[in-house]
Homo-oligomer: A and B are copies of this chain.
């Protein structure tokens, strides 16, 4: 597994290895003929630049760290896909780390990434407390938070208007005549999730609806968690005292659908359901989940942009970008 280095090609080219470096890096201070000769030669010799050596001297790796809960969560994997896409065209590669939505794990992972000298980090934090844990390293590596709303924290983040999102959902439900609406899967450890709950609550006030919550004590969403919580809910009541459910995420909603199915309840006949995120699978037939869309591609683009700005100009300050959600009407909601 011996690799050919710049010195090797310098030797056979009969030039100093600085010359080879110049030829390959496209430096202007070199003769065209020598350049061509060296480029050709290095190709023949199978030379591949060693970017770790390069990184050491230029003090930049052109790598972004991406830390998120779990890459197999559809929301996260879509964000990851777009982040990779945008990062790549800007010349950056991605180091992927799953935090498992666990604070210790997340912190360790983060530290690892700064040790690896990544030029910047994009993180979908597991919750509010992520910030406190990561704080010590924050001035060592430019970081952009995605999805979690950090309120007025002096850190750059991009998120969707979660409050408005659930508000939109509620308006839609209200327009359909619903008066008994349950918020499903409220999570305390995340401001994003609190905002979703608040949007719901505010809408309740506005429409004279009594707010009702089913909380999730898990640190992340998944079909399974949603299913578990929904089963408990359905079992405890015997019947559902609501005409509609607003779920905190699409995956949770998928879990609800599964539980409802087992209980022989149909959607939207027995109750209307609305999700949040608009993951790919929500658009499946039979599922057809009405939901609030987060502009994932745009969010990823913004995050990459912000990060690169921060890297090129560390004095750029911070910015908060709250993107516009939109209602995707499918067929999981019906008039009462």
Contacts and interface: CB of A to CB of B under 8 A. Distances in A.
A242 interface: no
Nearest to A281: B281
Nearest to A49: B115
Interface string A44-65: 0010111111011000010100
Q: How many copies does the complex hold?
A: 2
A140 B98 contact: no
A81 B85 contact: no
Contacts of A14: none
B52 A116 contact: yes
Interface in A65-93: 66, 70-72, 74, 77-78, 80-81, 84-85, 88, 93
A114 interface: yes
A70 B74 contact: no
Contact of A223 (B49, B114, B280): B280
Interface in A246-293: 254, 257-258, 260-262, 280-281, 284-287
Contacts of A261: 285-286
Contact of A97 (B52, B84, B136, B257): B84
A78 B84 contact: no
A129 to B, nearest CB: 21
A280 B112 contact: no
A316 interface: no
A97 to B, nearest CB: 7
Given A48-B111, A97-B94, A98-B81, A71 B71 contact: yes
Contacts of A286: 257, 261, 286-287
Contact of A77 (B52, B71, B142): B71
A117 interface: yes
A71 to B, nearest CB: 5
5 contacts: A1-B140, A51-B115, A254-B284, A257-B284, A257-B286
Given A51-B117, A70-B81, A93-B95, 13 more contacts: A1-B314, A48-B114, A52-B52, A52-B55, A52-B116, A72-B81, A88-B97, A93-B97, A94-B96, A95-B96, A257-B286, A286-B286, A286-B287
